[in-house]
Every structure is written in C-alpha cells, then in structure tokens.
Amino acid sequence: MEEKSKTQRKKEAQSLQALGEKLVKLSIEQIKDIDLPVEIYDAVKFAKTIKKHGALKRQMQRIGAVMRKHDPEPVQEAIDNIEHGNYKKELDFKEIEKWRDELIAGNKTLMEEILEKCPDADRQQLTQLVRNAIREMENNKPPKATRTLFRYLKKIRNYSDRHKGTK
C-alpha cells in the first residue's frame, strides 16, 4: 500500500471539513434523514449551537477529524441528493408560476400543452380557474383566484410527475 504525501492527506482533511460544513448548514430534519454515525451527528448538532467564530472553526476541524474515521461517500451522496432535490423543486415552482402567468395572459396553446402533459387535469375546472384569475386582475382584487390557480397547477403537475410510467 502506497503512503500518501502530506499534501494529499491535507487536501483530504480539508475536503472532509468542507463536507462537515455542508452538514452544519443543513436543517436538523435534513440531518436526521442522513444515515450518519452517532459521533458525527453529535458533533454536527453541537456545531449548530456554537456562536463564536473561533470555536466554530475548531468544531469544524473536529468534524473533519471524526469524518476521517468513517466512509464519507454516503454522506456526500445524501447531501448531493438534498441539494439537487431543492434545485428541482425550485425549477418546478418557476415553471408553474410561468404557466399561471401565461394562462392569465391568454395563452390558449399552453392550456392544451398542460392538459396533454397532465392527463388527470380537468379542462373545465382549469378554464374556470383561469377565467376567475383574469376577472380578479381586471377588477384589481386581491390575488385569491390567482393563488387557487397556482395550487391547482401545482397539484396536477405533482400528480402527473408521480404517476408517470404507472399506466
């Protein structure tokens, strides 16, 4: 077995410390979902309580040292999944917002695309929700119908995403 150089060991220690920093930035609920060894979980949980910069820096170094004893791959995969999941949710949210805004602006071809993409959508209900949102905007009323339209679009989008390939 080949011995690692001091530089290589230092780079690995820094990457493990950076991984620990990512863990500390996650919420407690997200951390609980990751299958962490108890020692790492306790160190991360303690780091979240530290307010002083110097103490936090030392705790990050400790987390990096503790992580050297364990395989970092599952932790890295879990963090990647969390980060990509949030990115996908953000993209979905923006797409649904765009749908809503274009439907209110009168884009009829988009309505057909949505109905094709989401076969469980009710054409009549979607048309009524769009009509209510347009009427609401014309009368300068609070965006209650617009929000209802958004929620409906989100519901049918999520439903169709979950049931792809099950038919």
For residue range 89-129, list pLDDT tens digits in order.
Answer: 788 888 899 999 999 998 889 988 988 888 888 989 999 99
Region of 158 (left: φ > 0; alpha: ψ -120 to 50; beta: rest) is alpha
Low-confidence ranges of the chain (pLDDT < 50): 166-167
Helix, strand, coil in percent for the chain, rounding step 5: 75, 0, 25
167 part of a folded domain: no
1 part of a folded domain: no
78 part of a folded domain: no
Q: How many CB atoms lie within 10 A of CB 72?
A: 17
The pair phi, psi for residue 87, each rounded to 5°, is -65, -45
| Model-wide pTM > 0.75 | no
Euclidean distance between CA atoms 19 and 31, whole angstroms: 13
Which residue among 39, 70, 101 closes a domain? 70
Q: How many domains does the chain have?
A: 2
Residue 49's pLDDT is 92
Residue 166's pLDDT is 47
Nearest residue to 149 via CA among 111, 100, 113, 106 = 100
Residue 117's pLDDT is 86
